[in-house]
Amino acid sequence: MKKITHILLLMFFGSTVMAQVGIGTETPLKDLHVAEPNGTIRIESLNATNNPTFNDGINLAAVFVDGNGDVVLGNGSGSGGNEPLNFLIDVPNFIADDPGGIGFNTGVVVNNNASGEFSVKGQIASVNFTTPFTGWLELKFGVTTYVAGSDIGLGCPCSFPNQNKAIVYQTYFIIDFFSDGLSTVEQNTFYGYNGQYYLSENQGAQGYAYINGQANLKAPAGNHTLYMFGVVKDSPTEFTSVGFGGAEDYLKIRVFN
């Protein structure tokens, strides 16, 4: 019995001293040492089944080390007791290419007619999204535009805008927090305002161009609705038609706490 006891004690103390674990090596240099040239690690608590909020199973999900040194995917304790929250809402081609079904990718058309109007706006898209935690939003978007001197919504070929006439087209968005109806403040708080200047010339060609924009704001946890608008500005005596979103567009919303 004494010999057995000594062996058990030796095994116990040996396992305490040799706490390092090696995979592919008999001489691990760290507590966990993966020495296989093509070795990988799987943590099933971070997969799409167990963590669908931050891992959709399609896009690569960012993994972080929180304030406790834990490897997390947006659900650890984090520095200062806050959950590290950093995930991406990606809405590709978020504006209808051919909403009128005319067989030409007009996008959503905003017309500024020749009856004395200087500036006209129209809603071109709405997007519902959810933020699981109060945090900062970084929104980036790219919207295609097609400019003409006749109503794009009737189909093309379209006429050119009058030559040597300045045209400005813009985009911006507002947000209905909690999707409970726009308040007066929400209706008049614009984000991501950006635009392009257009001047037609002889021998020009019509085609799609991009407006790119970005905005940062703070949003509470909950379900929200983003409304995007297109603005067309020209001479009060000229007709300008702009199709917003006829080609590939994108909207990316990144959430940080």
pLDDT reported for residue 79: 45
pLDDT tens digits for the chain (257 residues)? 444 444 444 444 444 455 788 888 888 888 888 888 888 888 888 888 888 877 888 777 777 776 677 777 754 444 444 444 566 788 999 999 999 999 999 999 999 998 888 999 999 999 999 887 788 899 999 999 999 989 999 988 888 887 677 899 999 999 999 999 999 999 999 999 999 988 766 556 678 999 999 999 999 989 999 999 999 999 898 899 999 999 999 999 988 77
pTM: 0.68
Q: Are residues 34 and 66 in the same domain?
A: no
Q: Are residues 58 and 36 in the same domain?
A: no
d(CA 101, CA 128): 24
pLDDT reported for residue 80: 43
Secondary structure class of 140 (helix, strand, coil): strand
Q: Are residues 97 and 219 in the same domain?
A: yes
Cα(first)–Cα(last) distance of the chain, in Å?
Answer: 60
Q: Are residues 55 and 32 in the same domain?
A: no
Q: Are residues 65 and 30 in the same domain?
A: no
- How many separate domains does the chain show? 3
pLDDT reported for residue 1: 45
pLDDT reported for residue 17: 52
A 10 A CB-CB count for 115 gives 8
Residue 79 token pair: 């520095």
Task: Give the torsion sign (CA, 94, 100, 101, 105).
Answer: negative
Residue identified by tokens 């003409």 is 148
Burial of residue 234 (number of CB atoms within 10 Å: 0-12, 13-18, 19+): buried
Domain extent, residue 18, equals 1-41
Q: Are residues 118 and 196 in the same domain?
A: yes
d(CA 247, CA 208): 7
Of the candidates 35, 101, 36, 90, the one whose C-alpha atom is nearest the C-alpha of residue 59 is 90
The answer for residues whose C-beta is within 8 angstroms of residue 111's C-beta and 6 or more apart is: 120, 151, 153, 232, 239, 240, 241, 242
State how far Cα 15 lies from the chain centre: 49
Of the candidates 121, 246, 255, 250, the one whose C-alpha atom is nearest the C-alpha of residue 193 is 121
Apex 248 CA angle, 243 and 254, nearest 5: 110
Q: Are residues 112 and 32 in the same domain?
A: no
pLDDT reported for residue 168: 93
Residue 59 token pair: 């896009």
Of the candidates 51, 253, 238, 218, the one whose C-alpha atom is nearest the C-alpha of residue 135 is 218
pLDDT reported for residue 89: 85
pLDDT reported for residue 9: 44
Is residue 190 within 8 Å of 173, Cβ to Cβ?
yes
CATH code of the domain containing 197? 2.60.120.760
Is residue 149 within 8 Å of 212, Cβ to Cβ?
no
